Amino acid sequence: MTAPTLVAIREQVSNALREDLGGDVLLTNDITACLIDEQTTATATIITREPCVVCGVAWATEAFALFNGELDITWHVKDGDRVEANTTLATLSGNARIILTGERTALNFLQTLSATATVTHYYADILKHSNTQILDTRKTLPGLRLAQKYAVACGGGKNHRIGLFDAFLIKENHIFACGGIEKAVSTAKTMKPGVPVEVEVESIDELKKALSAKADIIMLDNFTNEQIQESVALNNGQSKLEVSGNITDARLSSLATLGVDYISSGALTKHVEAIDLSLRIHIS
């Protein structure tokens, strides 16, 4: 996935700044920064305190650029770079108020998106010698769907559907409401020809029904490794198979040997722990 458009990034960042600044993106609304003379200049560095895969450069840049003041940012890394602890990610120079007011918003985006990219890289690295790909889910932070899915791509993962509009994912409640797997799949293929149709199944019996309905992708929900092996044999290449539920890093290696196409995990986007970053300022 490519990065969201600059317009979308600016909207996300401006919304975050408005939270901090009481509704308007104005330097004068940062009452603590106003303790500093408005002509004061400074330099600053953004440093990571732990190893990570960097993501969020454009968001962090916009957190300062939206103030339209005199500030230069030099990035020493790009999205997708793997860096070690204590690496300087960026150097800033210019108006001190802009640096201090934009700091938290910039770091919030950078630390969160880098966390998603870092966790994804860890998972993808475990699977690198297999044909199984790690996928994200819709379990993203509200308002950050495209940003976090971009971070997954930066970490070496693949994107599942973006939302409710670009692919069918027929789950238990859909199956019940539609009157069965076969009917749900048939209706989906008639309604939107060419759009991927995925069915979530919870048993071997449901798998057989999804295969009979010719689902494009079948998600094996909370299957044991033994059930997955049986599913792969029954499938025999008819549909793409995805494993979901109870996905841990300890289990990934064994899953990669079973012959499934995808493993999806909400942990890539909802269980992340922010990367430890810091900004250090020096008054000119």
Catalytic (active-site) positions: 104, 139, 171, 200, 221
Residue 80 Ramachandran class (φ > 0 left, ψ -120 to 50 alpha, else beta): left
What is the sign, positive or negative, of the torsion defined by CA atoms of 157, 252, 199, 118? negative
Number of residues that this document lists for the chain: 284
Residue labelled with tokens 């994912």: 169
Q: Annotate the chain with three-state secondary structure.
A: CCCCCHHHHHHHHHHHHHHHCCCCCCHHHCCCHHHCCCCCEEEEEEEECCCEECCCHHHHHHHHHCCCCCEEEEECCCCCCEECCCCEEEEEEEEHHHHHHHHHHHHHHHHHHHHHHHHHHHHHHHCCCCCCEEECCCCCCCCCHHHHHHHHHHCCCECCCCCCCCCEEECHHHHHHHCCHHHHHHHHHHHCCCCCEEEEECCHHHHHHHHHCCCCEEEEECCCHHHHHHHHHHHCCCCEEEEECCCCHHHHHHHCCCCCCEEECCHHHHCCCCCCEEEEEEEC
116 CB-near residues (< 8 Å, 6+ apart): 55, 148, 151, 152, 155, 268, 269, 272
